[in-house]
Amino acid sequence: MIRSRLAAAKRIGFVGLGSMGSGMAANLVAKLAAGKPEGQALLFDRSGVAVQRVVAEAAAVAEAAVDLPQLAAKCDIVFLCLPEGGVVLDAVRTMSPTLREGALVVDSSTTSPAVAQKAAQQLGQRGVGFLDAPVTGAPARAAAGTLTSMVGGSEKHLEAARPFLGTFATKILHMGEVGNGQLAKALNNCLYNVSCAAMAEMLPFALRAGLPMPAFVDAVTSGTGQSFGFNQWASLVLQREFEAPKHGFPMGAAFKDLETLVAAASAEGLPVPPVVAATLATYQRALAMGLGEEHKGAMVKVWEAQLGVCCSGTEAEQKK
């Protein structure tokens, strides 16, 4: 029943039009308006302004939902893009009574394997399918429709969702059972965290050793030492620009990825990998310094304080 119903899915719900979801929903609606794939969209967010902005671009195929129960009752597939796991589970509980048997919920939020498994269990009791399909690529790629999606769940549910996932993700990777999408996303983000922590160590060390900051940053970002974390944050560090969410996701809210890795290691009876353990230590020190509301580049302040330097692009600031 699930397969036959989803094969002809025409009404697609999208919940959560924040920094990532707004671009994803806009691309979904734009592709539906072009008939690739065919369908209608029903959107919901606590910010009515965000919803109306997307609806205004393609009113023929998109409308705003009054609330989550209404959206759930009308849709065959519902995408979620919400801030954290608790909000996802609240949304699932709210939608469950009105979701129709054979519907599918696709969670593109970044949560944890445990949250994904709990959501799948709750929905499964009502005959509703579930995929955890977190995305990576940051808001710019969400707006461009070029995200990567890591998907956990059954092949048949993925094939039903694929045409709609493909409206905002150019790479869709099946990671196995429910929860594995979230695990893959967490490990990806931990590799990113490692590169951020490495940048945070290396810039103060280079300055203390006498290297000029702008030239050193230029050398690394154009050389073999470059990484996503270094390239993302080093120039902002020199400008002393640490504001989030203006420049990036707040460090405190992003710590959940390392927690997921620690939990996964514990479940497998393994130690936390040593490079990640060092990253975890730097990250925790940054949070203890009260930097949780700043972006990950602010980890540099841990090592600036330890080495007694300031990694600014100007010599006067470096001597403060």
What is the radius of gyration, based on Cα positions, of the chain? 21
Angle, alpha carbons 283-287-291 (nearest 5°):
110
Taking CA atoms, 209 is separated from 161, 202, 233, 234, 316, in Å, by 53, 10, 21, 17, 17
Q: Which of 31, 185, 296, 301 is catalytic?
A: 185
Q: Quote the crossing angle between the two packed helices 21-33 and 48-57, to the nearest 10°.
A: 30
Which helix (H) or strand (E) segment is 283 a member of? helix 274-288
Q: Which long-range contacts (C-beta less than 8 Å, at least 24 apart) are formed by 283-288?
A: 283/193, 283/197, 283/251, 283/255, 283/258, 286/200, 286/251, 287/251, 287/252, 287/255
Site of tokens 């009791």: 125
8 A C-beta contact, residue 149 and residue 173: yes
* Residues in the chain, total: 320
Q: Is 185 a catalytic residue?
A: yes
8 A C-beta contact, residue 178 and residue 116: yes
Active site members: 185
